[in-house]
Structure 1
């Protein structure tokens, strides 16, 4: 299974009943080269202006989830100076208070190395960021992603537990749940994913797909419903089709399972979801 970011997985996703961000809230742009403010919450909408790296913005509302360059997060309605539009959360530092600029620079290097699939280099930068700022939630978030990629699942769980001290949102619980499932702790994974759903992950296809997988491993009849909802939410995300294919095959629905597997293969070839 794949992680959301936050990403994620990254995160990031803040939601409904217990949001980690009390809007309006300030954030800083951490993307190298800045971040475009757009007219609405999608890359298809026109750019309003380019916001330079480390500039402050005010987040005033939550938008839909998206996956851009392998980073899973949600869009935010935002205000920058006299302009209002949408910003992608994957390149925002949403808990920057008391975080030194040097640590944020290290985080930028983490993100760039991760996008380049140089996970060992990204891990080095994440460790350096946490040496500078030991309570830096975004750095724990990214290091958790990296540890998952490197197969270090116990460290992954520890990182997300630390991240949750300052980033109490659905993506952190989703990602920790998937780390637990990698260690066959499906009961623990289910508990985290159920929490992720309550915090807004019920509108995110990756969280729904991961929940489908974990419920399926526990032989819970509700598993396929989560896959169906994931596909309805994001029809171009391949992973719910893969999970539903496995479930349908177990139920003896071979033709339907093969159709799902064919859809998964076609969508996976785009490379957009290979994170």
Structure 2
């Protein structure tokens, strides 16, 4: 499936959302307890693997659980979410459809399928599923923000901001909403000051999240404060030493500081950690190498 993205690397890129414009999208992964000791233990292990970012292991645990309890809509949805984060879209689509067959009122499953439709470039079906999810659960801030991110790509920025604003009325301390609103101000409305303020707010609310740290570093880089940007990328790497985005971003800042060897080292290491960034950072790597000659 062809991925559509022009927003990923700046702010919407998350180490998880689908860190594709999907890492942008926060999936509604249920954590449900069941009375059977063995199945409960397996489910807890799957949920823990998801929490730790080990999505392949999560798939294995959820598959074991499904063998014991084949009619659990929630666990099919959980496995669909894990498959989505592994970029296994066909498997994810099959599982989320199974979840909805078992429970047609699973709001989170509609959100997950909406994200999948977005990656299939099927905007119409994506909108239908987002609307269905909100019809079932109109107060879910994750769904509101995921829907806003998709709508922004269609050019309807007013609706996107309305959705984000609604999520903040529900939860004024939802950091993702501020980061998403900042991305819209920066990418689409070209308002750097408003974007900076939104990203700062996201960071204040959740300073431990690498997405927020990297986003604030990116804002400092945009205004030409490369030293400050590097400070934030260093913070991100102290939280997650294998954060490919932080390495690539720090490398670009080193490039602007004319520290070409450091730029090359960081960008190459970032690409080793996540080759999917190549299309976005290769030109900076090439420039650093040409300047070093």
TM-score class, shorter: 0.5 to 0.7
- Does 2:216 match 1:214? no
- Does 2:198 match 1:198? no
Instruction: Indicate the SS of the match to 2:242.
Output: coil
Residue-by-residue CA offset, 1:11-69 (whole Å, 9 max, x unaligned): 58xxxxxxxxxxxxxx9559xxxx932285524689596794469xxxxxxxxxxx984
**8 Å Cα contact 2:110-2:133 kept in structure 1:** no
Name structure 2 gaps, 5 residues minimum.
1-9, 33-41, 76-81, 87-95, 97-102, 281-293
Residue-by-residue CA offset, 1:135-161 (whole Å, 9 max, x unaligned): 443331220232245465444333222
Partner of 2:184: 179
Greater mean alpha carbon deviation, residues 216-225 or residues 41-50: 41-50
Partner of 1:127: 131
**Rounded Cα–Cα distance in structure 2 between residues aligned with 1:111 and 1:151:** 22
**Rounded Cα–Cα distance in structure 2 between residues aligned with 1:148 and 1:270:** 23
- Does 2:242 match 1:236? yes
- What is the deviation of 1:237? 2.7
Residue-by-residue CA offset, 1:150-209 (whole Å, 9 max, x unaligned): 465444333222211123322222222222221322211221121112212x21112111
**Rounded Cα–Cα distance in structure 2 between residues aligned with 1:53 and 1:196:** 33
Partner of 2:229: 223
- Does 2:45 match 1:38? yes
Q: Which has the higher contact order (CA 8 A, sep 6+)?
A: 1
**Rounded Cα–Cα distance in structure 1 between residues aligned with 2:195 and 2:45:** 36
**Rounded Cα–Cα distance in structure 1 between residues aligned with 2:217 and 2:235:** 9
**Rounded Cα–Cα distance in structure 1 between residues aligned with 2:158 and 2:270:** 29
- What is the deviation of 1:8? 5.4
Residues 2/199 of structure 1: CA separation in 2 closer, same or farther (3 Å cut): closer
Residues 261/152 of structure 1: CA separation in 2 closer, same or farther (3 Å cut): farther
Residues 156/235 of structure 1: CA separation in 2 closer, same or farther (3 Å cut): farther
- What is the deviation of 1:131? 4.8
**Rounded Cα–Cα distance in structure 2 between residues aligned with 1:141 and 1:175:** 7
**8 Å Cα contact 1:205-1:233 kept in structure 2:** yes
Partner of 1:111: 112
**Rounded Cα–Cα distance in structure 2 between residues aligned with 1:244 and 1:253:** 11
- What is the deviation of 1:264? 2.5
**Rounded Cα–Cα distance in structure 1 between residues aligned with 2:270 and 2:160:** 27
Residues 173/259 of structure 1: CA separation in 2 closer, same or farther (3 Å cut): same
Q: Which has the larger radius of gyration?
A: 2
